[in-house]
Each structure stands twice: as C-alpha cells, then as structure tokens.
Amino acid sequence: MGMIAGLLALIVAGFGLYVRLAPSDPARWHVTPVPAARTDCTVEAGTGDARATCLRPQSPAQLLAQLDEIATATPHTTRLAGSPDTGRITWITRSRLWGFPDYTTAEATADGTGSRLTLHARLRFGSSDLGVNASRLRDWLARL
C-alpha cells in the first residue's frame, strides 16, 4: 500500500513539475487574436477562453502601455512576447496552486481617431477554465 501511495505522489509531483516547467513557445501563443463579435468591450466567454474587442480614444501604443501596466501588476503574470511599440503583447498568468498557464494576447490597431483593442485569453491545459480567463479580462478592462 505504501508503494502505491509513493508512486501516486511521484506521478502528481511529476505532473506539477511538467505544468510549471513546460516551455511557452511565443510562435504558438503570440498570434493575432480573433476579434470578438461585439466592439463594446463585452467579454465573450467560451469553455476555455474569452475574447473582447473595444474601441478606445488612445493611440495603440498608449493603450497597450496602459494595459501592460495593469497586466504585469496582476499576481503571477509575466510578459511572454511583444511590446506596446509592436502593437501586440502576450502575457502568461499562472494559477496559484498548480501553476497552470493561461495566455492572454492583446493587439491594438489604429481605428479612426483612436484604437481597436482585441483581447484573447485562453488556457493551455484542460478544456475548461471555470471562467477564470473571462474574469481576468473583465478586471483588466475595468481598470483600463
């Protein structure tokens, strides 16, 4: 019985290490986000992802700089790729307990006198995020 418990503990620990240490390939995650159907900043949630599109008065670089400050101030969030000057940024936010990575990409393009901001947050492992990505997008947009 002790050997089975030890083997189970080893499997769980191995899974935890894999989740935390698996490399995040920018070529896979730092891609153009598909816009949401609406442009009024309404977060559209799926089972493992969330999207939003907004029209804002700032320039694309200003808008992404503000969003980058908000994102990087979020616990367990780091920038994977991009910058305000390139027009697109992707961040990784990890869950507290297991360190599951969620990827959020924001792209801002000029639109009239302001910008069109497109956000896409998605999970890497599993099929449901229990609404975490949609909640994060709502929080970031409210603070923006």
Residue with tokens 């907004």: 54
What predicted TM-score, i.e. pTM, was given to this entire model?
A: 0.91
> Can you read off the two tokens belonging to residue 111?
């639109």
Structural element, H or E, at residue 60: helix 60-72
Residue 103 lies in a domain: yes
Residue 113 belongs to a domain = yes
Task: Please write the tens of the pLDDT for every residue from 22-71.
Answer: 899 999 999 999 899 999 999 999 989 999 999 999 999 999 999 999 99
What CATH number is attached to the domain comprising 84?
A: 3.30.530.50
pLDDT digits (tens, 9 = 90+) for 115-132: 999 999 999 998 889 999
Q: Nearest-CA neighbor of 99 among 70, 130, 75, 131? A: 75
At 126, is the secondary structure helix, strand, or coil? coil
Q: Quick check: is 62 in a domain?
A: yes
Give a yes or no: residue 6 inside a domain: no
Strands 49-56 and 114-123: antiparallel
Whether 139 is covered by a domain: the verdict is: yes
| Structural domain that includes position 46 | 25-143
- For the chain, the domain total comes to 1
From CA 10, how far away is CA 8, in angstroms rounded? 5
What pLDDT does residue 80 have?
Answer: 98
